Structure 1
Amino acid sequence: MKVFVGTIVHSTWEEPMNILQNTALGVHDSEIVFIEAAQRLEDLKTKYSFIDSDITYLTSSQFMMPGMVDTHIHASQFPNNGIKLDLSLLDWLNTYTFPTEAMFSDVKVAQCVYPKVVERLLKNGTTTAAYYATLHLEASKVLAQVVHDRGQRALIGKVNMMVNCPEYYRESSITESVSETEDFIFFIKKLQTPLIKPVITPRFAVACSLDQMKQLGQLAKKHDCHIQTHLCETQAEVTWIQELFPWSKSYTDVYDTAGLLGAKTIMAHCVWIEEQELKRLKECNTGVAHCPNSNISIRSGHCDVRQLICRGIKVGLATDCSGGYSSSMLDSLRRALDVSKSLSIQRQNYQFLTLPEVFRLATLGGAQVVNMEDRIGNFEIGKEFDSLLIDFEVPRSPLDIFDKDTLEDKIHKFLYNGDDRNIVQVYVAGRCVINNKNCT
């Protein structure tokens, strides 16, 4: 049993940021078993049979929050983070991104890069990530093994692509694509961990034939897998889709026809999406990964997240490295606010997103998008304990705290200005996977 006593901050669907002071939170193995007022601590000791040594008392400069969920990240693009952002999407892919991903044909590249990816994300407080690997089967297995060994929660996909992409970086046939994807699914299952799930990953409709997407959709149904891809990222991409699939009603219709829409599907971007497409996403309960840094950095456009929320569509946040230059979900949270406020400048009476709302998108919203809101995302009883211990006053903290600051002020300052230095412990399923202080 682990018991934490102090300030607990999380989201519910009714309240985007719920600050609970003097609260006791109990964890048995991986599961949250109680969250009660600290005044009841003696009664809780008796009821749950724990002792003083099981209790961690948070200081006045600390609080706990749920781990953050990155709903869309290209692990293989990590070497390009912070560089090569001078082109728009399609040129950027061909000039910089495909050559980098092609390097993973050498498993040694994967063995070098992927441990750095997972370690960086954990340090930044990302307890769950929806990863794109590459089309290389063995390198994708390396990513899965690294995630398993470090104890992160993840969806991991071997990328599928075979048309409108370089000869040096494409699958040779639909048979190969489906066969190796199923091989990867079996590899994930052999890891025998509930923390890692395979995700069917057609890169985007530009790079996949309809028959390939249909067969991948059938594979997802066969194994009850998640699905992830890109949708309506740029205007040029949307135009090209209409040329490639002239029979389709829309970009979304292509995926719908292929059988790729559903409650376990994650669509990244959705910047240039039309009304009927939004309606169909809602009908299928498909989630959207909002990638604000990437959408700005490669000039894709501003996604109207308020519109998605108002239509009842599931939305989470994502870094989309390396289109997004930062692997920190705190950066994604801040850029989401920037994009929303930019839209409010352009549109009269536009209701921009608030900090508590994007806090929820980074945690509970992301959990919903990856179809895990019954297991993670906040501190409800029965959920697994994915959590961050935050400290405002660590050495070399980027935060300036003043006597006048309320507790809410301090939490907001962390969300706006904090970084990995303030994240002193990271827990996934009750296990401490990052520890910058004494922890058992």
Structure 2
Amino acid sequence: MDTVQHVFKGTFAHSTHRCALEVLENHILGTDSAGKILFFEDAQEQTRLAQKWGFDEQKIEEFGKSEFIMPGLVDTHIHAPQYSFIGSGMERPLLEWLKHTTFPIEDTYSDLENARNLYSTVVKRTLRNGTTTACYFATIHTDASIVLAEMASQYGQRAFIGKVCMDRNNTYPKYIESTEESIRETKRFVEVLKNKKYERVKPIVTPRFGISCTEKLLNELGKYADEHQLHIQSHISESTAEIEEVLRLFPGYKNYTEVYNKNKLLTNKTVMAHGCYLTDEELHVFREKGAALSHCPNSNISLCSGHLDVQNVLRHKVKMGLGTDVAGGYSISLIDAIRKAIETSKIIFMEKIKRETNKINTNQKGKMAPNEVSGHAKNGTMEMELDYNVLSYKEAFRLATLGGSEALNIDHITGNFEVNKEFDALVINPEAKDSPFEVFSQISKEEMIQRFLYLGDDRNIKAVYVAGRCVVPFPSNA
């Protein structure tokens, strides 16, 4: 029988495939030495569980009345080197921002000391903000990308690390590799990480996006990923200017999705960031291939790229998680991504109301009174039902946790508190001394969770666990 390492008691909140937010008060959860969940039951079973698993009831870690435990956050798209200029250049659209801000700074990470200092900071900052799993873009520099993997492993973060591949760069020609070099260095990067045998840090094949990769490079990366069953990440349909340039560079393809699909880069281990302008036909391909989308609402708004209609993606049953997309997104926190995802959904709803209002107003006089969240609108003489539901905070919570693990194809390992999964978790204290919000009266746990998601930040995160190991607070020597 497995030995119990930790036992936690209190309120737990997580998502399942049947329920976007399940709140379980007075529950008890036990983990083994490998960080896997051995049991998760009502605390009324405590004595029986203690007898069965042989743990000391006096050593149970019990959390306070206002505290709750939730799954760790999964950032499905973040550029680690861009943290150094987070919040900069936001006045430019995507392609101009890449040319003037991103590429020149990323090019400096051939300096390994520079890389080590920044990547150490990025990993610690994301962990403090509750990101237990991060899917990172690094740069084209192999050795610096290896440093990022070392930092993630050192601080205990679950991570996918991508050495960026790009064999053309018309806007900043200095930051480029040859096709052969990109392929060779990707293979070296993957082999180095495999030989290091990190438990929870894995390589991910990373063509930057269609504009910066030739067909030969995409094809070779697709074949290599297929041969070794590797994860894949890139960008797709982030802005209209990007789509136009991709179609110009790949005239033989009917759409952006086909560029990746025909080169074996859409698999059940693929996550593509953005997807703001994907057609229903393209979403069908994503569903068919088992590929996922990373919704990056902060970045989409900050760079004026567009809005992703989350509800349409979910209707197509495409896997989806949330991404911060630092530094296109100006916040490193997935809690911000939750809020921006909800806000984006509301913007899309209001745009639909406006379009329908304009249609009606051209045919009859009268003023419509839209219902804020139901998708129902009416005026004095006619009613209209919109086939749209605003994304709820519960659904956004699922996207940031279980949805992210599904997008990265690790939902059999983490994402919620099911038995046999690894315990990736945050301990949340809404009444922390320096909390950014107050709790004035006794409220339900569900309302407490909602307030944290709308108002809380890293000051409310009391502890962070990855695979049963407490990684935040950091050791004094970290």
Measured against the shorter chain, the TM-score band is: over 0.9
Q: Which residue of 1 aligns with 2:187?
A: 182
Confirm whether residue 403 of structure 1 aligns to residue 441 of structure 2: yes
Secondary structure, in 3 states, of the residue corresponding to 2:282? helix
Partner of residue 23 from structure 1, selected from 23, 27, 32: 27
Confirm whether residue 10 of structure 1 aligns to residue 48 of structure 2: no
Q: Which residue of 2 aligns with 1:167?
A: 173
Q: How many Å apart are 1:404 and its aligned residue?
A: 4.6
Partner of residue 48 from structure 2, selected from 19, 32, 43: 43
Q: CA separation in 2, counterparts of 1:141 and 1:431?
A: 23
Q: CA separation in 1, counterparts of 2:114 and 2:144?
A: 8
Q: Which residue of 2 aligns with 1:32?
A: 37
Partner of residue 101 from structure 2, selected from 88, 91, 96: 96
Q: How many Å apart are 1:21 and its aligned residue?
A: 0.4
Partner of residue 413 from structure 1, selected from 448, 451, 457: 451
Query: In the TM superposition, what whole-angstrom CA distance separates every residue of 1:62-95 from its partner, at most 9, and x where no partner exists?
Result: 1100000000000010011112111000111000
Partner of residue 294 from structure 1, selected from 296, 299, 315: 299
Q: CA separation in 2, counterparts of 1:346 and 1:424?
A: 39
In the TM superposition, 1:33-112 aligns within 5 A as: 33-112=38-117
In the TM superposition, 1:259-298 aligns within 5 A as: 259-298=264-303
Confirm whether residue 250 of structure 1 aligns to residue 255 of structure 2: yes
Aligned residue-pair number: 437
Q: How many Å apart are 1:191 and its aligned residue?
A: 2.1
Partner of residue 144 from structure 1, selected from 143, 146, 149: 149
Q: CA separation in 1, counterparts of 2:475 and 2:23?
A: 24
Query: In the TM superposition, what whole-angstrom CA distance separates every residue of 1:43-68 from its partner, at most 9, and x where no partner exists?
Result: 00010110034310111021100000
Q: CA separation in 1, counterparts of 2:200 and 2:46?
A: 31
Q: Which residue of 1 aligns with 2:420?
A: 382
Q: In 2, are the aligned partners of 1:424 and 1:436 still within 8 Å (CA)?
A: no
Q: Which residue of 2 aligns with 1:126?
A: 131
Partner of residue 350 from structure 2, selected from 336, 345, 352: 345
Confirm whether residue 202 of structure 1 aligns to residue 202 of structure 2: no
Q: How many Å apart are 1:436 and its aligned residue?
A: 7.8
Secondary structure, in 3 states, of the residue corresponding to 1:273? coil
Q: CA separation in 1, counterparts of 2:249 and 2:116?
A: 37
Q: In 1, are the aligned partners of 2:31 and 2:468 still within 8 Å (CA)?
A: yes
Secondary structure, in 3 states, of the residue corresponding to 1:347? helix
Secondary structure, in 3 states, of the residue corresponding to 1:64? strand
Partner of residue 240 from structure 2, selected from 235, 243, 254: 235
Q: In 1, are the aligned partners of 2:72 and 2:425 still within 8 Å (CA)?
A: yes
Q: CA separation in 1, counterparts of 2:259 and 2:475?
A: 50
Query: In the TM superposition, what whole-angstrom CA distance separates every residue of 1:116-138 from its partner, at most 9, and x where no partner exists?
Result: 10000000000000000000011
Q: In 1, are the aligned partners of 2:169 and 2:175 still within 8 Å (CA)?
A: no
Q: How many Å apart are 1:422 and its aligned residue?
A: 0.6
Normalising by structure 2, what TM-score? 0.90
Q: Larger Rg: 1 or 2?
A: 2
Percent of pairs identical after alignment? 44
Q: CA separation in 1, counterparts of 2:435 and 2:415?
A: 26
Q: How many Å apart are 1:319 and its aligned residue?
A: 0.1
Q: CA separation in 2, counterparts of 1:73 and 1:245?
A: 27
Q: CA separation in 2, counterparts of 1:194 and 1:287?
A: 23
Q: CA separation in 2, counterparts of 1:279 and 1:103?
A: 40
Query: In the TM superposition, what whole-angstrom CA distance separates every residue of 1:146-165 from its partner, at most 9, and x where no partner exists?
Result: 11111100000000001134
Structure 2: which amino acid aligns with 1:347? K
Moved over 4 A (4+): none
Structure 2: which amino acid aligns with 1:168? K
Query: In the TM superposition, what whole-angstrom CA distance separates every residue of 1:19-64 from its partner, at most 9, and x where no partner exists?
Result: 0001001111210011111011000001011003431011102110
Confirm whether residue 326 of structure 1 aligns to residue 364 of structure 2: no
Partner of residue 221 from structure 2, selected from 216, 223, 241: 216
Greater mean deviation of Cα atoms: 135-144 or 346-355: 346-355
Secondary structure, in 3 states, of the residue corresponding to 1:86? coil
Query: In the TM superposition, what whole-angstrom CA distance separates every residue of 1:248-284 from its partner, at most 9, and x where no partner exists?
Result: 0100001111110100000100001112111111100
> Cα RMSD (Å) of the superposition?
1.2
Q: CA separation in 1, counterparts of 2:175 and 2:327?
A: 18
Greater mean deviation of Cα atoms: 64-73 or 179-188: 179-188
The alpha-carbon distance between structure 1 residues 436 and 424, as it changes in their structure 2 partners (threshold 3 A), is farther
Structure 2: which amino acid aligns with 1:260? L
